[in-house]
Structure 1
Amino acid sequence: MSAAGWTATAPSSAAHAAPSSPGSSALSEGETPFLKMHGLGNDFIVFDARDTPVMMTPALVRALADRRTGIGCDQLIVVEPGDAADVRARFWNCDGEAVAACGNGSRAVAALVGGALSIETAGGLLAANALTGGATVDMGLPRFDWDAVPLAFAMDTARLPLAWEDLAEPAACSVGNPHVTFFGTDPWSVDLERLGPLIEHDAVFPERVNVGVALMQGRDRMVLRVWERGAGLTRACGTGAVAAVANAQRRGLADARVTVTLPGGDLVITRADDGHLHMAGPAVIAWRGTVNLEQYQ
């Protein structure tokens, strides 16, 4: 065990996530197993609590997520038995805030559990299907009402009459969490590390907001960078990609199927006939380990 209170196990020769059942080999007293997973570099600490409950607090999430003194992650996930679904997934950002939705995290849950499954989240019920090396997830219908995003007051969410320096008139929606997307600017030309937190914490967004900067490359391809609420710049944001495509389609900029290129790689977002947005992409088990949670309390 490391001085920090956790141990790691090298991954198997198969780099992708494989279907898993709860339970593990014998553990030392006080040890809790976890998996380190990622989707396009958006990384997670995952606790499979289908057999044994794992209690989580904001302070514990922050301690575990710390990349210098903890295990390190963008988000932490606890997978539990579901009441109205096959499993329940609870998500936290690395700042300790519980969040209702996590697109890449939902794929990780699907890849861990395996097969076709339903996932109960705070943002609603998701249908998912594990694939070799990843998963598809039905992310449901985007919501465009100003109070569903939510915004502090009524505005046209297709084109908010707002600007932060050169970033102006974003589109806004909720896909289980709030997003704004700016179009028409090269994402790599924007100082998102500076502007991202200013927009995230603007008073017009009472629950804060995720910030995407997107550039369409034809009607079926998009380049996207995301400042993630509570996590900062990330290599990939699944809900950010879903929201960006929803906003682009609403503005008439995109076809039903769009490949979204993020710093960590590609996601494919498809709008079905019923309006639901389906996300397809990789989900990987990087390694497994055990942790003494009491040392982080």
Structure 2
Amino acid sequence: MADRFIKMHGLGNDFVVIDARDAPVEMTRARARAIADRHTGIGCDQLVLLEPSSVADLKMRIFNADGGEVEACGNATRCVATLLGASAQIETAGGMLSVSRDDKQAHVAMGEPRFAWEQIPLAMPMATERMPVGWSGLEAPDAVNVGNPHIVFFVDNADAVDLGLIGPEIEVDPLFPQRVNVNIASVDRDNRLKLRVWERGAGLTQACGTGACATAVAAIRRKLVQSPVTVALPGGDLVIAWAPGEPIRMTGPATRVFDGETDWSRFG
């Protein structure tokens, strides 16, 4: 009997989704990496594994293209909301998420952002707003945990930064014991940000939902914008709403591209 999967994307950030709620699927780092390979596998930025949950409607596990399992992915969560087609609670390693879906878009309550240095986490105590660190001319970033760790740099022109060069260096800097997602943002106009993201374990992506959340929160904290914020990514726009003491709310599209069948044993 063939194993089924669904190919989806959220603003070009693409996923292989495996529904393992009825029949368990063993997922290892090597297997996830093999499935994600765009030349010899199915190809994706992240693999999403749906499993039963004892505390929510379902559990979502997320594996980056390098095979590493991560805590959260906003675009993947919107894809799952689209698949479910109804309001639901989703258990993740980054916390509990609430999702819903209307005729056009998916909505996700991502939980409250975390700012304490040990919650990011950082390797040493320091302020997480306008941090006293820098790399190759990028200085004074903000750090935010939105289920996974992000660092956000605000610059005059997000397109002028060679993120493909500096992103890998910052991702693995010893300051970030669990590595970090790197966000480069600029204020486009009132309540609109332009954003590019180097995603931990995946590289440059068309869109990053948690990156959009972290960047919007950091911009609101700095009073650069007001909620709700439109975040323009290479793959399209997300709308992020947040106020201190409240969960982050993300709204945006998700697309079911095709359904497929394979044999997971082919991938190790």
Q: TM-score, normalised by structure 1?
A: 0.88
- Please tell me the root mean square deviation across aligned C-alpha atoms, in Å: 1.1
> Does the C-alpha gap of structure 1 residues 41 and 247 become closer, same or farther in structure 2, counting only changes over 3 Å?
same
* Residue aligning to 2:37: 66
Query: Could you tell me which amino acid in structure 2 is paired with residue 46 of structure 1?
Result: V
Please name the residue that 1:8 is paired with: none
* Structure 1 counterpart of 2:77, from 101, 106, 115: 106
In 2: Cα distance, 1:217 partner to 1:55 partner: 44
From 107, 126, 129, the counterpart of 2:97: 126
Structure 2's unaligned 5+ residue stretches are: none
Aligned counterpart, 2:46: 75
CA contact (8 A) 1:170 1:181 kept: yes
Of 278, 283, 287, the residue aligned with 2:249 is 278
Amino acid at match of 1:185: D
**Counterparts of 1:99 and 1:218, CA distance in 2:** 33
Q: Does 1:43 align with 2:11?
A: no
Q: Which amino acid aligns with 1:101?
A: A
Judge conservation of contact 2:197–2:204 (CA < 8 Å) in 1: yes
Partner AA of 1:237 in structure 2: C
Give the aligned residue type for 1:126: L
Quick one: distance in 1 between partners of 2:231 and 2:203?
19
Deviation at 1:272, TM superposition (A): 5.0
* Matching residue within 158, 173, 186 for 1:187: 158
- The residue identity in structure 2 corresponding to 1:72 is G
Aligned residue type for 1:67: R
Distance 1:47 1:132 in 2: 23
Aligned AA (1:144) = F
Bigger Rg over Cα: 1
Q: Distance in 2 between matches of 1:164 and 1:275?
A: 32
Post-superposition shift, 1:38? 0.4
Per the alignment, residue 211 of structure 2 pairs with: 240
Distance 1:152 1:96 in 2: 24
Q: Gaps spanning 5+ residues in structure 1: where?
A: 1-28
1:194, distance to aligned residue in structure 2 (A): 0.4
The alpha-carbon distance between structure 1 residues 161 and 273, as it changes in their structure 2 partners (threshold 3 A), is: closer
Aligned 8 A contact 1:79 1:89 in 2: yes
SS at match of 1:150: coil
CA 1:239–1:262 in 2, change beyond 3 Å: closer, same or farther? same
CA–CA separation in structure 1 for the residues paired with 2:246 and 2:36: 35
The letter of the residue matching 2:218 is: N
**Amino acid in structure 1 at the alignment position of 2:254:** A
Determine if contact 1:111/1:133 at 8 Å carries over to the other structure.
no
Does structure 2 retain, via aligned residues, the 8 Å contact 1:133–1:284?
no
> How many matched pairs?
268
Aligned twin of 1:229: 200
Question: 1:44-92 CA deviation, whole Å, 9 max, x = no partner?
Answer: 0000112111111100000000001000000000112221111111111
Q: SS where residue 118 of structure 2 aligns? A: coil
Q: Distance in 2 between matches of 1:185 and 1:195?
A: 17
Runs of 4+ in 1 over 3 A off after TM superposition: none
* Equivalent residues of 1:185, 1:213 under 8 A apart: no
Between the aligned partners of 1:213 and 1:273, the Cα distance in structure 2 is 23
> Is residue 220 of structure 2 the alignment partner of residue 254 of structure 1?
no
Are the aligned partners of 1:186 and 1:215 in contact in 2 as well (CA < 8 Å)? Answer: yes
Do the aligned residues in 1 keep the contact of 2:156 with 2:187 (CA within 8 Å)? no
Q: Could you tell me how far apart the structure 2 residues matched to 1:199 and 1:265 are? A: 25
- Match of residue 136 from structure 1: 107
Question: In the aligned structure 1, how far is the partner of 2:244 from the partner of 2:182?
Answer: 27
